[in-house]
Chain A
Amino acid sequence: MSIRDRVFSIIAEQAMLEVSDVKGESTLESLGIDSLGLVESIFAIEEEFDLTIPFNANAPDDSDFDISNVDTIVAGIERLIALKS
């Protein structure tokens, strides 16, 4: 599975939706993921890819990780994986 597919599947599970309901331009809010769900999603992504995501729930906009929509999350993860290797 590609990184993108794996992220989509984590977000779909968190939102209790089918993967096909998750679009690149979907915001987490539009998928019904609240702040607690966001923190849990980030945890699940960190576990899946063995990464540490620089995200502070107090100041999501100032974090060095863009969670504006699913596409930006995927891009952020791809960047972190590239940095790691």
Chain B
Amino acid sequence: MEAMREGQCGIGPLEFRDVERLSIQIGGQVKGFEAEGIFNRQQMTLYDRFTQFTLCAAQEAVAQSGLEFTGSLSVRSGVVLGTAGGGVSTWDDNYRSVYEDGKNRVHPFVVPKLMNNAACSHVSMQHNLKGPSFTVSTACASSNHAMSQAFLMIRTGMADVMITGGSESMLCFGGVKAWEGLRVMSKDACRPFSANRNGMVQGEGAGIFVFEDMEHAKARGAEILCEVAGFAMSSDAADIVMPSKQGAARAISGALSDAGIDRSEVGYINAHGTGTAANDKTECAAVADVFGPHADDLMISSTKSMHGHLIGGTGAVELLACIMAVRDGIIAPTIGYEEADPECALDVVPNVARETSVDVALSNAFAFGGLNAVLALRRFN
């Protein structure tokens, strides 16, 4: 959150094997993360990097919550996480080994290491969470869909506490090479909403939260960061990659009605804001449609300009900006903003964070495949 507040850019040159064979060589790579110092040898053979990120974030989240999962609470608590690619670098390393190096044998744990639900299962084991647990994979909306499911489980009484969020780690040769193919990546920077934007930049990491039934949290005197007020999901049913204004608008307005929020209450939207030509103008048009004249009063920023696009983990990391908005009254900026675009004529909080009071914040995620999920957060008083 501090880095978001300061408008720090975490995007830089990528460092991994064969990076020189890529045409895209920048990303929001996590640097200085020494997994060997955190996990033992046995754990390292089972944890892909996306699992490592997840376990570290979950550890911090659970510690901050002050919860201990024993007895009946353990059975009434679960884990729902999002990831698009799961153990991409495990796939990549082992394909390299059998195809390029000609090896005929791979480590026996390749499958349990690369599976998309590996991170979810290890969080469940580490924290003794025995309730409903699974992984959601909806490309760039994975985390928002995951958090929506976690929220729903608490709202419907299926669980008291849910560990939720998501993670991604596809910054390896094969992961970036695949993305290059689509020709939507920028070679120099992620500049959402800026007229001179030229594509998205990938990031990696994890964001994990503890969602808890409000009464349960109040009863134990928990530190409540904010309230998850509602959510909505929609499908464009139109195109496998191009976004749709109607699909996005239905998810945004659906989240407002689900939460019982009047549109005038919304002070901040964390945009999907990928920095591609198509997404940013479509998203702005959808916001203008839903909010009418109020669209000019609210703030909308894309923190992907700082951390890059974490694909399946992105909604989770971006929820931090929404929490910061409603809890601290600080709006994370859209950095790298250089030229106004008439097709993105909203207050995109260019380059510098802003201090103000916000009652309600929305987090948008619009995935490839046209699957959309929007969450609404409300300040907790």
Interface residues of A (CB under 8 A from B): 36, 39-40, 42-43, 46-47, 52
Q: Say whether B109 contacts A40, CB under 8 Å.
A: yes
Could you tell me the dominant secondary structure of chain B's interface residues? loop
**In this complex, what residue of B is CB-closest to A51?**
B105
8 A-B residue pairs with Cβ-Cβ distance under 8 Å, sorted by A, are: A36-B109, A39-B108, A40-B107, A40-B109, A43-B107, A43-B108, A46-B105, A47-B105
**In this complex, what residue of B is CB-closest to A57?**
B108
Q: Say whether A43 contacts B105, CB under 8 Å.
A: yes
Could you tell me the dominant secondary structure of chain A's interface residues? helix
Band of interface residues on B: under 10
The CB with the most chain A CB atoms within 10 A, among B45, B105, B107, B108, is that of B108
Chain B residues lying within 8 Å of A39, measured Cβ to Cβ, are 108
Chain B residues lying within 8 Å of A43, measured Cβ to Cβ, are 105, 107-108
Q: Say whether A40 contacts B108, CB under 8 Å.
A: yes
In angstroms, Cα B32 to Cα A18, docked, is 33
Q: Say whether B105 contacts A40, CB under 8 Å.
A: no
Q: How many Å from the CB of B82 to the closest CB on chain A?
A: 27
Chain B residues lying within 8 Å of A52, measured Cβ to Cβ, are 105
The 4 closest A-B pairs by CB, nearest first: A39-B108, A43-B108, A40-B108, A46-B105
In angstroms, Cα B147 to Cα A45, docked, is 44
**Which residues between 35 and 90 of chain B lie within 8 Å of chain A, taking CB atoms?**
45
In angstroms, Cα B105 to Cα A81, docked, is 18
In angstroms, Cα B108 to Cα A39, docked, is 7
Chain A residues lying within 8 Å of B45, measured Cβ to Cβ, are 40
Q: How many Å from the CB of A44 to the closest CB on chain B?
A: 9
**Which residues between 107 and 131 of chain B lie within 8 Å of chain A, taking CB atoms?**
107-109
Q: How many Å from the CB of A8 to the closest CB on chain B?
A: 19
